[in-house]
Amino acid sequence: MERSLRLLLLLIGTFSAIHTVQAQSKSQEGFISLDCGLPANELSPYKEEFTNLQFSSDATFIQSGKTSRIQANRESDFLKPYRTLRYFPDGTRNCYNLKVEKGRNHLIRARFVYGNYDGRDISPKFDMYIGPNPWVTIDLERLVNGTLKEIFHIPTSNSLQICLVKNGTTTPMISALEIRPMGKDSYITKSGSLALFNRVYLSNSSSYLRYPDDVYDRQWFKYFKTEWTQISTTSDVGNSNGYDPPKVALTTAATPTNASAPLTIEWSSANPEDEYYLYGHFAEIQNFQTNDTREFNILMNRILLFGPLIPEKSKINTIYSTSSVTCDEGRCSFQLIKTNRSTLPPFLNAFEVYRVIQFPQSETDESEVTAVKNIEATYGLSRINWQGDPCVPRQYMWDGLDCSNTDISTLPRITTLNLSLNGLTGTIAAAIQNLTKLEKLDLSNNNLTGEVPEFLGNMKSLLVINISGNNLNGSIPQSLQRKGLELHYQGNPSLSPLGTSTKRHGKSVLIPIVAAVGSAVILIVVLVLFLVFRKKKPSTVKVVHPPLSRPTMNATYANSPEPSIEMKKRRFTYSEVVKMTNNFERVVGEGGFGVVCHGTTVNGSEQVAVKLLSQSSAQGYKEFKAEVDLLLRVHHTNLVSLVGYCDERDHLALIYEFVPNGDLRQHLSGKGGRPVINWGFRLRIAVEAALGLEYLHIGCTPPIVHRDVKTTNILLDEHYKAKLADFGLSRSFPVGGESHVSTVVAGTPGYLDPEYYQTSRLGEKSDVYSFGIVLLEMITNQPVIDRNRRNSHITQWVGNELNGGDITKIMDPKLNGDYDSRSAWRALELAMSCANPSSAKRPTMSHVVIELKECIVSENSRGNMSRGMDSLSSPEVSMVFDSVMIPRAR
């Protein structure tokens, strides 16, 4: 009870500053009112006749979609802005791009009226996003008169993107989109945005209110109960306090007819874990007798929020929560109860309730978004998926881009720009230099002209530049001849090769002489080396295995100043392996393949793990070569990186980066002296492992399936960052006309996808199943298969325990109950969804990443709240109410 009281303690206050201009002005400054689907050549803008709001066509705010109207016999049922619509049959994500004020709270309202515009009578269902974060699912199946969704949101940039995302077979559509800038200090939350749950004023006679009665164009609906009595006034009531509810809403109020009874407002919450912010508006509008007093306490779910309150005459007092509140088992009760010394019952003029929505995913760095849009404009690109945030969510990343976005709290940055074969004309766009974290630039096979700009050489993060197959001229800037830069420039007939200049000077006659002499020296050296190595090579040696294939994604041209990636990943001799492991002195692991030994590179600069393939290993050369090939062409912070390999006759070894903290299984069990990791760490490890898998599935070309995801293959580095390991069973996804059927089913019992086992059909959802089992292990710390259990497999055991509805019986007892129950339930539901026997019903790894990140947000909010409650619950804290009344916490 004490903890609940602390969690529900609210700071109460009203703004004493009077925003005269905002409260009294009837202007629509900053308003955006879009009649979606209204043709731009029709009368636009126009004034809507009931509100005098000025609506415009949405045509200049979005680059895709088609327009239509609801059926003619339905048009009279709706105001003009809701008779037309824009629908989106093409693309998965279609976005409006709106200019707003960064850091200011905005009311965002979207309206949807299907009106059988397409004659199919199939109501659509789709998702709405704000930037890279999901906002709400729109389902119009039973809403014949449409619906509206409203939220208070603070943009993190001056560009606001509202996106409609297809989540099934139906077509997204929208009727109207309205944006209203709010007061500078209103509707502030500790985290997240506020979705409208209810906004009412207590009246039994008036109709609903909006602009111009409400200067912010909030919509207020009348609400009244039979057990209440209406009170009202014709006098002016002051409403200026930052929230500025309509004056009309403050001239009426409700009191309980039974003066001794509380005034109660109740509602149900579909999700018991939902969090709410409450706003009550009070203005005394009754004239008192000499001995009359009015004071009352304010309770939420029978817990005192504030009191006693003594409202001021004809002046607004707004009581609001600065911390979110939850409801008891989904039943919410807001009550006003008079004190013993009060002669009058409590009253309420107006009431607002908002539900918290967390938007954890950071948007792509604003300067880079501007840069890539300038590049798009420079080349006149028109791609259906170049809408919304360029980098996130990852499943909607723009074609031709790759980004660094492994941490939701960090701004994603663009690391790859691939515009090859796009018919680009003109010069190399100057905006490219504003992509300051760019590592790979591919402008090959276009029609670019002009010189190679100097700024490319000043982009220190660039590792690969491909400008081959264009019509560039001049010479390669000296700055592009730096070490560490891989440059491809073939196929530009007028472009001078590296090391030459198009400018003549007094000593130009020496150039052909030096070149000829240099060529001769190189030829002699190559010939001598060839003869020496040929002499040393025994004539009886045969090639036992085929050479390791060079990854096409990193192939270089013959005159590239940098070696290929295969050459960078060093091929070690067996004697070097013996030396680096000190004759295999320290064994750190063992498996079916053989042993893993600790080692140090020859120069002592790097610790490594050396995986030796034994003669008796079931993992043969095919698996060895597969792992080498795969690790040569992939790189991700959550994948164990390959330092090198040894392929010398019967000696096969893989040399990895050393990951010192062992595997996840050890940390769950506490074996080997490993500490048992807490719930927060487990969620973070789960996210990082999921990001590694997501990269394999959608970040690699062709995509890759791991096939052996399990807790022993998730390693933890010195900072407990998770890294996926053991790619011996990994395979590229079948593409084109290739078969999806795997000739040999491979994996670990318990983690193996039952659908893959039965059909031999391999896909990314097989990894999703295995990950679901890993997640269940992290949640329960139970063995995957335990023959001593009545339900031997972990999915069966969890499913049976779920019937009891008690998550404490499922969670790892070693956690000692130290976890956020919301994040635990969400993770558990996600794990069971991943482990669904039907692959079609499993989520993608991208969806898994999103869900797990939201679990982390929930868990972190628990920690932040518990740390902050001590100070908030102190009796010394003053609750600012207004300049006159400063009540104390009780």
Task: Name the residues annotated as catalytic.
Answer: 708
In angstroms, the Cα distances linking 55 to 34, 307, 708 are 6, 44, 57
| The token pair that represents 32 in the structure block | 């955006």
- State yes or no: cis peptide before 783, omega within 30 of 0: no
* Token pair listed for 491: 């196929």
First to last CA, the chain: 16
CB 112 within 8 A of CB 65: no
Q: Could you give the CA distance from residue 760 to residue 753 in angstroms, rounded to a whole number?
A: 10
| Upper half-sphere CA count for residue 10 (Cβ side, 13 Å) | 24
β-pairing, 221-223 vs 193-202, is: parallel
Tally Cβ neighbours within 10 Å of residue 337: 21
φ, ψ of residue 477 to 5 degrees: the values are -55, 145
Report how far residue 530's alpha carbon sits from residue 524's, in angstroms, rounded to the nearest whole number.
10
Tokens of 637: 């912070």
Neighbours of 257 (CB within 10 A): 13
Task: Give the position of tokens 């731009």.
Answer: 40
Q: Point out which residues pair with 337 in neighbouring strands.
A: 297
> How far is Cα of residue 467 from the mean position of the Cα atoms in its chain?
33
Radius of gyration for the chain, computed over Cα atoms and rounded to the nearest angstrom = 33
Rounded CA gap, 281 and 265, in Å? 14
Let me know: does 705 contact 733? Beta carbons within 8 Å. yes
- Residue 287's contacts (CB-CB under 8 Å, 6 or more residues apart) are none
Distances (CA, A) of 330 to 195, 268, 270, 273: 17, 6, 6, 8
DSSP state of 289: P
3-state secondary structure 508-567: CCHHHHHHHHHHHHHHHHHHHHHHHHHHHCCCCCCCCCCCCCCCHHHCCCCCCCCCCHHH
Query: What whole-number distance in Å separates Cα of residue 388 and Cα of residue 164?
Result: 10
Round to whole Å and give the CA distance between 832 and 800.
12
d(CA 479, CA 486): 13
Q: Which two tokens stand for residue 410?
A: 């960090």
Distance CA 877, CA 9 (A): 12
Q: Residue 843, CB half-sphere, CA atoms under 13 Å: how many? A: 20
Task: Please indicate if the annotation marks 611 as binding a ligand.
Answer: yes
Residues 156, 177: contact at Cβ < 8 Å?
A: no
Helix axes 794-802, 764-780, angle to 10 degrees: 60
Annotated binding site: 611
Annotated binding site for ATP: 611
